[in-house]
Amino acid sequence: MSDDKILTFPGSEPLPENSLVLVEKRDLSFCQHPVITLDDHERVVRCDKCGKVFDPFTFLREQARRIQTAWQQHRQVMNAVHDKSASVSKLLAEEKRLRAQVRRLKDKTDPIDLHAEPKP
């Protein structure tokens, strides 16, 4: 067999060396931005702790979302508290009813004397 009949498919040639170098700069610290400064002169929102400058509209939108989420969570918790309170009230009423029923049954039944002679 001769090598002149062997065909190479396009794209089967070896890949060139990768000349791209990706440098990722990661800030592993996480700032919660506890103190924010609103600069009227420069019209920017800046974190006093890390120095990050926020777009004012984006900052306002995020704060509005945070407040909206907090209100929704508050409403859910208050509904759950109301439901649990109603359940506890029902359970207390049931306990009171059962205690009264046990008291009535104790009064109605005669004690059993285990030492007495059996009746024929």
Q: What is the pLDDT of residues 42-96, one digit of tens each?
A: 888 999 888 889 988 888 998 899 999 999 999 999 999 999 999 999 999 999 9
- Residue 116 within any structural domain of the chain: no
Q: Is residue 92 part of a domain?
A: yes
In a domain, 26, yes or no: no
Is position 119 within any domain? no
Residue 10 lies in a domain: no
In which domain, by residue range, is 54 found?
34-107
Model-level pTM?
0.49
Report the candidate in 58, 62, 57, 32 with the shortest Cα–Cα distance to residue 47.
32
Q: How many domains does the chain have?
A: 1
Q: Flag whether 71 is in a domain.
A: yes
* Residue 25 in domain: no
Q: Are 84 and 94 a contacting pair, CB within 8 Å? A: no
pLDDT of amino acid 120 = 59
Residue 12, in any domain of the structure: no
